[in-house]
Amino acid sequence: MKNPVFSKIEETIKSLDVNSIPEERKAILKSLTGYIQAKVNQNQEVRLNFICTHNSRRSHLSQVWSQVMAAYFGIPNVFSYSGGTEATAMFPMVGETLKEQGFEVLSLCKGNNPVYAIAYSENSHPVVGFSKTFDHPFNPVSGFAAIMTCSQADEGCPFIAGAEKRIPITYEDPKAFDNTPQQAKKYGERSVQIAAELFYVFSKITK
């Protein structure tokens, strides 16, 4: 059963151009689809840990959109996480981008590594966003897929303890446009790309 998302998020989802995903990207995404489908077939929890170097941008966007798409398509028992090879902070523009796309982003704790509640639905548990290492106690220790969202982490972290499967699905870093007139546009584009690809993944899952 689908879990309704906020109306503005639904508008964002309906505006996604899944047909623009290149065939070579679809081939890369197939591995994630296969992992999720196998878990669903066995009535097992689906644990997805999206990993980047600093757990500040791409891994957060991927974690959030993964949880949203699972709810949107009514795929049960999906738990999305994120982590880095080191902890820094969730970059503020990530929260601003998600707000623009329909999320409610609430600051729970300020400081050098703020904590946010990122809500996408009235009755679903919000995604808790803060920067952490991939092996932080907040994240699963076994029975999960490690999805590498940046090439630096993929190359620099050859072993992820507890991961059943390692899936490289890398994205260009919007950080390159920080403090430029293009910043908001580029973060929005990266979020939409991630959303479209995860829409594609979860749309293929049969229950």
Residue ranges of domains in the chain:
7-14+21-173+189-203
Quote the pLDDT of residue 3: 73
Please tell me the CATH code under which domain 7-14+21-173+189-203 is placed: 3.40.50.2300
Integer Cα distance of 17 and 81 in angstroms: 25
Integer Cα distance of 141 and 150 in angstroms: 21
Indicate the burial class of 100 (C-beta count within 10 angstroms; 0-12, 13-18, 19 or more): middle
Quote the pLDDT of residue 1: 62
Q: What is the pLDDT along the chain (207 residues), one digit of tens a residue?
A: 677 899 999 999 999 999 999 999 999 999 999 999 999 999 999 999 999 999 999 999 999 999 999 999 999 999 999 999 999 999 999 999 999 999 999 999 999 999 999 999 999 999 999 999 999 999 999 999 999 998 886 676 667 999 999 999 999 999 999 999 999 999 999 999 999 999 999 999 998
Token pair, residue 69, equals: 């798409």
Integer Cα distance of 141 and 73 in angstroms: 27
Q: For residues 202 and 72, is the Cβ–Cβ distance under 8 A?
A: yes
Q: Which residues does 64 contact at the CB level (< 8 Å), separation at least 6?
A: 80, 98, 103, 118, 120, 127, 129
Give the global pTM.
Answer: 0.96
Integer Cα distance of 121 and 201 in angstroms: 20
Quote the pLDDT of residue 109: 95
Integer Cα distance of 67 and 126 in angstroms: 9
DSSP output for 140-168 = -SSSEEEEE-SHHHHHH----TTEEEEEE
Integer Cα distance of 8 and 101 in angstroms: 7
Q: For residues 99 and 184, is the Cβ–Cβ distance under 8 A?
A: no
CA-to-CA dists, residue 108 to 113, 118, 189, angstroms: 11, 10, 27
